[in-house]
Chain A
């Protein structure tokens, strides 16, 4: 509707209808192929989605039932929780949509194909931009729906709460789509040609702001979290998420208003949101009409510019020196993977972002006064940090390590032709990934444990878990990546979203849960005083031995299967 207004012609509407029919047909065909495919694949992927949804629902239900116990505080806490949740969700979805829109506007072969046909550029812009709504739908289905449903059940809300919440959530999906499309449209025009310099400057500014923020936080009086004053201070700090001008606040406030039997306010906020989404969608279409082709030309221009790299970098020389003990061919393969990682901004920027945020949190740990808490709470926070680090690591191994072999694609014969055993190639990839992971996550855990003031032996136990998790996760990613290669696709997201990618992610999550459980049991029982002295030593030793065995299984089984598959692979 918005598109047709902008195109202002019958032809534009026809083009959009034609493209929408194409997309629907492709989606239906893909769904049919999926459900007619391997039963195992359908079962694993559907069960993974269902289990994830149920876990989210159960977690939210527990949270809302717990909050319901605090008479008088429930409403205030729900207000903060909803406002913060929707602000974070919208921010994350907008960033992700901008990345998705950028690649589908300028990197996608389909866009080039459509542009060679007599179709208006703005129709292609709207069509490609609207594709990213699938991502928003995924976010809504897996996060918003279980949360809203859990709230409704816990608070026993009126029936129209579900209808209005659904409408608010669907309308909300338009915002990140539109924001992402506008950002993706402006980036090639605004960012000058020297991207590396721009990126470096941008990162320097971000780092500067973060340093200032951390300094500001550290300059304030330490807060003890579990006191009334501490609680109020935390609430005050996140009060910004309830600003009236934030669309995320309209969504959260609308949902809560309908749950509190104030449907008029919910409808008002829904219409406010809808009118804003429509306005910005219209603006995006106008911008797309005049800017899409210049932006496309600008992005292609940058890609065509030559990037000369003459001298060998210090990092490569350093890495080559550190890896002196490896056979020459294997060292070359590791160096190749290191160079690829360094020169691919999507890989290092996401790694930096994830671990940067975790580091920021860890540096701030003393601010929350955890060092003064009882061992029970210290242990709990340390385990949560360990869990967060391991889950972040699994996201990175699933996103970057798993598709590595598939991304060799048509160039895989180069790897196959190297005069060395193919198993060595996979082990090379494994050692590179495991060493990198261990360096990042190990440093973070040591830092976190030191900030919490934990004793040396606990830090050592945590480090053993990190080592095991690094080996297990990378063994799974490299091994399963070779068992389920997808040489036809150049798109990492497609490879990660395939059966093998999902299977790897599911296995990684179960492996992490099992690993955490094995360390959590002895440490929790020790912190609560149930297990002490010799009994603790016996249980801890048994659990750590099991931890090592579990990691060995998680690493060696997929690696062996991967090596067998890779050795049989024909190029």
Chain B
């Protein structure tokens, strides 16, 4: 479960995230959308413990991300928009390294790597050095690493960037499966159709504040439109 209480981040004169209150229960697939510079990545980084809130707090399954960060990160998987891999490690070595940081037993690690490798089609390149991977290959390995330890919370920033349609479809299926198993999923995206397709709830952030929150139909109602989500989004985030 993710709980954000009065979460605020101020950069100089700019309030990037303004007293955000949000609760994502176990098993919910939450999509976080908003225009560029609205505060999506800042919020995600505060949830992942990479940025310290100016005010308020974020908790993951009851663990404060700042004060009890090891416990909080043990239940979390974070997939950034720019996948990071060690160039001089193979994909398999990278997955093993990540598994060790979560104290996964060796046998379980190997079986999980085999499983994810099959699901994401990693077999052909998993033993090559990461420096030879394309962006999509890196993204697939990083997403596999995020799912290795059966996290209770998954925070993912722009998951479809660099993935081919097949990879994207597998990812959506896998995320839904994870959410059915009780994992809270917090996904930031610009792909409105993806949000509409997979999310249980959608939050629209604009200038650091949530301007609409609910199921896609609720969003349309708030925006007083019965058209596409895109139309509702544009109406809710229009300037002036």
Contact residues of A with B, CB < 8 Å?
Answer: 15, 18, 22, 25-26, 29-30, 33, 109-110, 112-113, 115-121, 193, 293-294, 296-297, 300-301, 304-306, 488
Q: Is A293 a contact partner of B52 (Cβ separation < 8 A)? A: yes
Contact of A306 (CB < 8 Å), options: B12, B48, B70, B76: B12
Q: Give Cα A112 to B51, complex, Å.
A: 10
Contact of A18 (CB < 8 Å), options: B11, B16, B101: B101
Q: Which residues of A contact B131 (CB under 8 A)?
A: 488
Q: Which residues of B contact A293 (CB under 8 A)?
A: 52, 66, 69
Contact of B89 (CB < 8 Å), options: A25, A113, A117, A301: A25
The residue in chain B whose Cβ has the minimal distance to the Cβ of A194 is: B12
Q: What is the minimal beta-carbon distance from B1 to any residue of chain A, in angstroms?
A: 18
Contact of B12 (CB < 8 Å), options: A30, A118, A120, A305: A305
Q: What is the minimal beta-carbon distance from A32 to any residue of chain B, in angstroms?
A: 9
Q: What is the minimal beta-carbon distance from B111 to any residue of chain A, in angstroms?
A: 21
Q: Is A118 a contact partner of B52 (Cβ separation < 8 A)? A: no
Q: Give Cα A280 to B98, complex, Å.
A: 32
Q: What is the minimal beta-carbon distance from A191 to any residue of chain B, in angstroms?
A: 14
Q: Is A301 a contact partner of B49 (Cβ separation < 8 A)? A: no
Q: Is A110 a contact partner of B84 (Cβ separation < 8 A)? A: yes
Q: Is B52 a contact partner of A294 (Cβ separation < 8 A)? A: yes
Q: Which residues of A contact B86 (CB under 8 A)?
A: 22, 26, 110
Q: Is A29 a contact partner of B50 (Cβ separation < 8 A)? A: no
Q: Give Cα A33 to B51, complex, Å.
A: 36
The residue in chain B whose Cβ has the minimal distance to the Cβ of A116 is: B78
Contact residues, B77-131 vs A (CB, 8 A): 78, 80, 82, 84, 86, 88-89, 93, 97-98, 100-102, 129, 131
Q: What is the minimal beta-carbon distance from A111 to any residue of chain B, in angstroms?
A: 10
10 pairs of A and B residues whose beta carbons are closest in the complex: A297-B52, A29-B88, A118-B73, A305-B12, A113-B84, A116-B78, A118-B74, A304-B11, A117-B101, A26-B88
B58-78 vs A, CB cutoff 8 Å, 1 = contact: the mask equals 000000001001110110101
The residue in chain A whose Cβ has the minimal distance to the Cβ of B16 is: A304
The residue in chain B whose Cβ has the minimal distance to the Cβ of A22 is: B97
Q: Which residues of B contact A25 (CB under 8 A)?
A: 88-89, 93
Q: Is B51 a contact partner of A115 (Cβ separation < 8 A)? A: no
Q: Which residues of A contact B101 (CB under 8 A)?
A: 15, 18, 117-119
Question: Could you give 6 example pairs across A and B, Cβ below 8 Å?
Answer: A26-B89, A109-B82, A112-B80, A293-B66, A296-B50, A297-B51
Q: Give Cα A556 to B29, complex, Å.
A: 61
Q: Categorize the interface residue count of chain B.
A: 20 to 34
Q: Is A112 a contact partner of B50 (Cβ separation < 8 A)? A: yes
Q: Which residues of B contact A305 (CB under 8 A)?
A: 11-12, 14
Q: Which residues of B contact A121 (CB under 8 A)?
A: 69
Contact residues of B with A, CB < 8 Å?
Answer: 11-12, 14, 16, 42, 48-52, 66, 69-71, 73-74, 76, 78, 80, 82, 84, 86, 88-89, 93, 97-98, 100-102, 129, 131
Known contacts A304-B11, A305-B14, A306-B14; is-contact A30 B88 (Cβ 8 Å): yes
Q: Give Cα A117 to B42, complex, Å.
A: 18
Task: Identify whether the interface residues of B are mostly helix, strand, loop, or mixed.
Answer: mixed
Q: Is B73 a contact partner of A117 (Cβ separation < 8 A)? A: yes
Contact of B11 (CB < 8 Å), options: A22, A33, A112, A301: A301
Q: What is the minimal beta-carbon distance from B55 to any residue of chain A, in angstroms?
A: 13
Q: Give Cα A121 to B88, complex, Å.
A: 24
Q: What is the minimal beta-carbon distance from B126 to any residue of chain A, in angstroms?
A: 16
Q: Give Cα A312 to B51, complex, Å.
A: 34
Q: Is B88 a contact partner of A120 (Cβ separation < 8 A)? A: no
Q: What is the minimal beta-carbon distance from A65 to any residue of chain B, in angstroms?
A: 45
Q: Which residues of B contact A112 (CB under 8 A)?
A: 50, 80, 84
Known: A116-B73, A306-B12. 7 other contacts (CB 8 A): A22-B89, A109-B82, A115-B49, A116-B49, A117-B101, A300-B50, A300-B51
Known contacts A18-B100, A25-B89, A293-B52; is-contact A120 B84 (Cβ 8 Å): no
Q: Which residues of B contact A306 (CB under 8 A)?
A: 11-12, 14
Q: Give Cα A33 to B100, complex, Å.
A: 26
Known contacts A29-B88, A30-B88; is-contact A116 B48 (Cβ 8 Å): yes
Q: Give Cα A110 to B85, complex, Å.
A: 8
The residue in chain B whose Cβ has the minimal distance to the Cβ of A11 is: B70
Q: What is the minimal beta-carbon distance from B38 to any residue of chain A, in angstroms?
A: 14
Q: Which residues of A contact B74 (CB under 8 A)?
A: 118
Q: Give Cα A116 to B44, complex, Å.
A: 11
Q: Give Cα A33 to B90, complex, Å.
A: 13
Q: Which residues of B contact A30 (CB under 8 A)?
A: 88
Q: Give Cα A116 to B69, complex, Å.
A: 10
Q: Which residues of B contact A193 (CB under 8 A)?
A: 12
Q: Which residues of A contact B11 (CB under 8 A)?
A: 301, 304-306
Q: Which residues of B contact A117 (CB under 8 A)?
A: 73, 98, 101-102
Q: Which residues of A contact B102 (CB under 8 A)?
A: 117-118
Known contacts A26-B88, A26-B89; is-contact A115 B98 (Cβ 8 Å): no
Q: What is the minimal beta-carbon distance from A127 to any residue of chain B, in angstroms?
A: 12
Q: Is A29 a contact partner of B84 (Cβ separation < 8 A)? A: no
Q: Which residues of A contact B49 (CB under 8 A)?
A: 115-116
Q: Is B51 a contact partner of A118 (Cβ separation < 8 A)? A: no
Q: Which residues of B contact A296 (CB under 8 A)?
A: 50
Q: Give Cα A82 to B35, complex, Å.
A: 62
Q: Give Cα A59 to B102, complex, Å.
A: 53
Q: Give Cα A118 to B12, complex, Å.
A: 30
Q: Give Cα A29 to B84, complex, Å.
A: 18
Known contacts A26-B89, A110-B84, A294-B52; is-contact A120 B73 (Cβ 8 Å): no
Q: What is the minimal beta-carbon distance from B211 to any residue of chain A, in angstroms?
A: 22
Q: Which residues of A contact B80 (CB under 8 A)?
A: 112, 116
Q: Which residues of A contact B70 (CB under 8 A)?
A: 118-120
